[in-house]
Structure 1
Amino acid sequence: MTKITYWFLGLIVCALSCTQFKKVAFKAENYIPISGSEFYRIATSFSVKQRDSLFLALANEGNIPAFFQKFVPINTKLKDKNGILHQVKFYVSPDYLMIGSNKDYARVPVSPFTAQVLADKMNCFLPTALIVDQIYLHSKHQLSPIPMFAFRDSTPTFWQHHLMIEGQLRNKGKGLVAGIKKDLIICSERYFKGKTNRVAIYGWHKLDGKPIQPIYTGHIDSYVDYSHGARFIYRIIEVDGKKYDYEDLLLNPTFKYLLTNDDAPTITKYPYSLQSLE
């Protein structure tokens, strides 16, 4: 290769190594672009299963906005079981799971199973309540929750809620967004009370930093409404500069408290099983 070629490649390597963001994506085949608004036009009268199936098929084709795949670093200090502070770094999606392009996208609430399939494909996991709190503390845009009361689980309500959030974000620019959804989370087994067909949700922080929704597992895992959102966390987490897989941290009796405040075993993904029933 010529000197110019080496110089150009050097610039690329430098640019990639110096970025503060992390690109988390997957390869797509037979890509047919679809916009967020078009997705909602097609799915207007769909059932939960039909809507989730369409979303998953389109997402697998690559119809996830590029900016969603540009994960934001969270640098924080957290205590382990012994009260020792550690420098912890993890990467999070800048917003909630969505469909479309950078110019025409839409947030789409999905079941925990659909969220998990895509999270696995992107080498990610769903957050714990502790991580949700950290994301809110470090977010650039802390928005006020917008409750809706009629037809909460209907596709048109999902679309209207998305548009209302976009109204809140108008002229604010890009950046880490929080406060707009209840997160699908992983959590301690004790919250499931022996039931293996539930979804755990948490969050929807108010402007005072307090969540409207405590950890809740009252919904069956096929229930989805407008307030639910799936945020992805890159599965490799740095603790004092050393890299760990999130599942290894949750199994570590000392370090698990960097990700959760609960002593009991934590489910790490959906569908889940409970050690207490095994």
Structure 2
Amino acid sequence: MSNSISRRPAHLLAAALFAMSAVAAQAGAMCDNALTRAIPARAAGAPGGSAVVEKVRTLGGSARDAVIAGEVLSGNVPGFLRRLTPVVLSGRAADGAAVEITLCVTPGYLAVGSDRDFVRVPLGLPAAAEIADRFDFLLPTTRMVDAIHRQATVVLAPSPMAPTSEMTSTAYFAQHSATIDRALPGKRSLSLLTAGQKKDLVLSMRLRQAPGRVAIYGWHRTNGRPIQPLSTVHGARYADYSHGVRLVSRTAYIDGQPRALEDVMQDKRLAHLVSSEGPISNARGLLASLYR
């Protein structure tokens, strides 16, 4: 498979933007800045992504995660990740009623730094879970990951790198982040929902069945088929360049009305719309258990 990343042609990108319906615009209004209020403001003197990468260049595993998580939790996150985008799941509730669930998700994967100087950062599950929880987010389910890919405005083809012992190195993930940057259709696209560039860390019932593991899924090809089926083969602290952390707000909207996403995920009437595994009880408690 080629190591290059392809992107949706410019004329299709323009068409996707033009095709935004009134419903989509209304959904976008739901995902306002209030949903990111738990993310601290970025300090004026915060280091850029390239400086953080140099700081952790020789580190790996938990030691690297601790440094990166410290930066992220202090608010050293680019502004475009604070502008959430809507993903709408429509279907029938268990009682047959039509229902529309709007999720508010980060347009891309977690990164450290500023809008001008940022690097996408893979993290082990404990660090990713703590960031999500403290910022008032959850990790996505596999069904959410599929919906994000289907509705993405910018669709990138996966760009695998050589599967060597360096897969978990800082150099590898920094290189992969730069490759993604080169594939994007300009800086404006950073705030557009983008998918296909990473595998996702996901919330899954398997995490209760296999404690001490990380659940990963996705890296969809442009035909919509994921390279990575749901897997818990790796230990919880494992992270390589192909992993990404997509955040989903804990506030969802059911037919326009706000509701806690963890309640939706355990609601027998609605859970199948957001989880292919059926109800996931106490999703926030599950998330917290992954780092506490």
TM-score by length of 2: 0.81
Mapping for residues 1-278 of structure 1, pairs under 5 Å: 19=29, 21-23=31-33, 24-25=36-37, 26-28=39-41, 32-148=45-161, 149-150=163-164, 151-171=166-186, 173-174=188-189, 175-188=192-205, 191-192=206-207, 194-263=209-278, 265=280, 268=283, 269-270=286-287, 272=289
Moved more, 214-223 or 22-31: 22-31
Per the TM alignment, residue 267 of structure 1 is displaced from its structure 2 partner at its CA by 6.8
Q: Aligned partners of 1:88 and 1:265: how far apart in 2?
A: 16
C-alpha contact 2:272 2:279 (8 A) present in aligned 1: no
TM-score by length of 1: 0.84
Q: Aligned partners of 1:139 and 1:30: how far apart in 2?
A: 31
Per the TM alignment, residue 239 of structure 1 is displaced from its structure 2 partner at its CA by 1.1
Q: Aligned partners of 2:46 and 2:127: how far apart in 1?
A: 20
Residue type of the alignment partner of 2:199: K
Q: Secondary structure at the match of 1:159?
A: helix
Q: Secondary structure at the match of 1:270?
A: helix
**CA 246–193 in structure 1, closer or farther in 2 if over 3 Å, else same:** closer
Per the TM alignment, residue 80 of structure 1 is displaced from its structure 2 partner at its CA by 2.7
C-alpha contact 2:266 2:279 (8 A) present in aligned 1: no
C-alpha contact 1:90 1:238 (8 A) present in aligned 2: yes
Corresponding pairs, count: 254
Q: Aligned partners of 1:113 and 1:187: how far apart in 2?
A: 15
Deviations 1:132-189 (A, max 9, x none): 111111111100001112211111000011111111114373211100111000012x
C-alpha contact 1:79 1:257 (8 A) present in aligned 2: no
Deviations 1:243-274 (A, max 9, x none): 2211111221111112112236457243548x
Q: Aligned partners of 1:20 and 1:271: how far apart in 2?
A: 26
Structure 2 gap ranges (5+): 1-27
Structure 1 gap ranges (5+): 1-17, 274-278
Instruction: From the CA coordinates, give the structure whose radius of gyration is larger.
Output: 1
Residue type of the alignment partner of 1:51: R
Q: Secondary structure at the match of 1:41?
A: helix
Residue type of the alignment partner of 1:105: F
C-alpha contact 2:137 2:247 (8 A) present in aligned 1: yes
Q: Secondary structure at the match of 1:39?
A: helix
Per the TM alignment, residue 111 of structure 1 is displaced from its structure 2 partner at its CA by 1.3
Task: Report runs of 4+ in structure 1 exceeding 6 Å deviation.
Answer: none
**CA 160–140 in structure 1, closer or farther in 2 if over 3 Å, else same:** same
**CA 262–100 in structure 1, closer or farther in 2 if over 3 Å, else same:** same
Residue type of the alignment partner of 2:114: S
Residue type of the alignment partner of 2:198: K
